[in-house]
Structure 1
């Protein structure tokens, strides 16, 4: 991560959870609420990781981008006539200025790290109501599925009861299919002359 700038860290902490949320929504939109919770937690984790990384590299000049420029000590060693006698003063001033620059870099890095950690804290705070909402949505979906299954089960039980009743009627001989007319009672209209009334009609 040595080549990652401060702006890249901020961008990655937003882009990665967003891309994963969109991908999870495309794969399974029914669990999008849980994907949203996971994305928020991932966002918080990435910000914590960035904050810890910055704390471990507080003196890195990347965190002072846009801040105060480093201080520089004036040089007295180039003063005519007495410059060689002022070289110890230059060394002392450079040491002091170096300590001040290190403190400023530490302060700027600490400020940036606290910014990432604060964002992570807000994300975790937002994750609690979001997780509660996801639990409620999951409960409602589970109740709906249970009601649908209960209705389906009731329909299956009713059909099984009707089938069992039909089997009992067939076994007891109470099931009588619709009777067809006997063969000798069926008249052939083609064999009868037109206009003649058959006997017994």
Structure 2
């Protein structure tokens, strides 16, 4: 990976902004919101819909934008309507995350900047653990997040191995064949479902 000065210049500038903003809750609140929104989406969205975009490079970009944008709006609007203005599907209703901070520490405001740095250097990181832990008021809430995260990673890893073992020979057999016409709509449906699920999970990182 090629290193350029802006890789550290922008985080350095943001660090200074965070340092001067954190003593002022109203300013820090909005600063953290925008930084968390951008950093969480920049880190996770490419993992979620990156392959969808790459595999549909021959399609008009605005078709992809309209499709994914519509799913985003529908998913967030549903949560807003059904959970009384909460866009996180009540993921922040658990004890330790359900209280809005009245004041901020520097590390709380700086956490999204750390995520931006890790994202730029392509380091794997859990956005939920990094961002939510910065705003938790009780250690038990972070313990619960860690347990669920590791359990989820274990299930995903185990299922991935099973699916790979069951399907690798089949894919090798048919990889040079022309794909069925059903493949494209199924790909769009599955990618849309994945995108919607990601929004349900990670909007808490933005709303926190």
Shorter chain as denominator, the TM-score bin is under 0.3
Give the TM-score taking structure 2 as reference length: 0.26
Which protein shows a greater Rg?
1
Give the TM-score taking structure 1 as reference length: 0.27
Using CA pairs under 8 Å that are at least 6 residues apart, name the structure with larger relative contact order, 1 or 2.
2
